[in-house]
A and B are shown apart, each in its own frame.
Chain A
């Protein structure tokens, strides 16, 4: 699968380049997941949690805070719809190839929030409550790597893949907006180098 890349321009604009059709279709699902008036209860509970167990506090929160949170999510949804409406082919020659989506500087936070909310909504629909749930399909069971039998479609697995792919896009934006200070993850850098060396020597 072709992974999109994030380009930053001198004037602060960002753009997802090389968006494969599958990624674009996935992004087009985001606005529907953010419709607060159509969300299932489990999604609503996750996106608009209570501030504690106290009944009076919960009532006050639902009355005064939740409407503001609905409004914020609606704003993020508008941003997503706006930028999706301006998606263009990466190149006129490519035709059915990849796509380009520009994100104005004042839309970036809306996108980060919208992608997060969409991932949480998908997770709530699937009842994902633990890391084990989220990574249940990460590894091919030992001994099945050579199995040529077609894998049956599994909706839960499919939705978890969507959560991961939306997360990849969100992570690109976060790393652009809020990168760790230089040298903060020195070990990670070394591991990456080691992996690259292994890949180079292994091929």
Chain B
């Protein structure tokens, strides 16, 4: 029997699991100009010209490139901004 003067407390265990990050993927498009894609990457992500140009080249040569990785909500915002600039962009969970 429990002591009436003592609150019994069940042992609990809290596990914190961080949500897996999401990739923002940009896909190649034959019509959109390379300089336009470079400009959009600079404006949307704040990348330097060098970094934006490098990612654009990866999109161009590989057909797609992961242009940003992070929290889902922010990934959604970035995909929306890329769509607003008519770039083909998707988001995918890294599943980590």
**B-side contacts of A174, CB under 8 Å:** 33, 35-36, 39
Q: When the two chains form their complex, are residues B36 and A116 in contact, meaning their CB atoms are under 8 A apart?
A: yes
**A-side contacts of B90, CB under 8 Å:** 49-53
**A171 and B37 alpha carbons, distance in the complex (Å):** 11
Interface residues on A, range: 35 or more
Closest partner residue, chain A, to B27 (CB atom): A49
The interface-forming segment of A20-28, A79-87, A145-153, A176-184 is A176-184
A contact patch SS: helix
**A-side contacts of B76, CB under 8 Å:** 51
Interface residues on B, range: 20 to 34
Q: When the two chains form their complex, are residues B91 and A116 in contact, meaning their CB atoms are under 8 A apart?
A: no
Say how far A59's CB is from chain B's closest CB, in angstroms: 14
Q: When the two chains form their complex, are residues A177 and B39 in contact, meaning their CB atoms are under 8 A apart?
A: yes
Binding site for B on A (CB under 8 A): 46-53, 65, 68-69, 72, 112-113, 116-117, 119-120, 123, 128-131, 133-134, 163, 167, 170-171, 174-175, 177-178, 180-181, 184
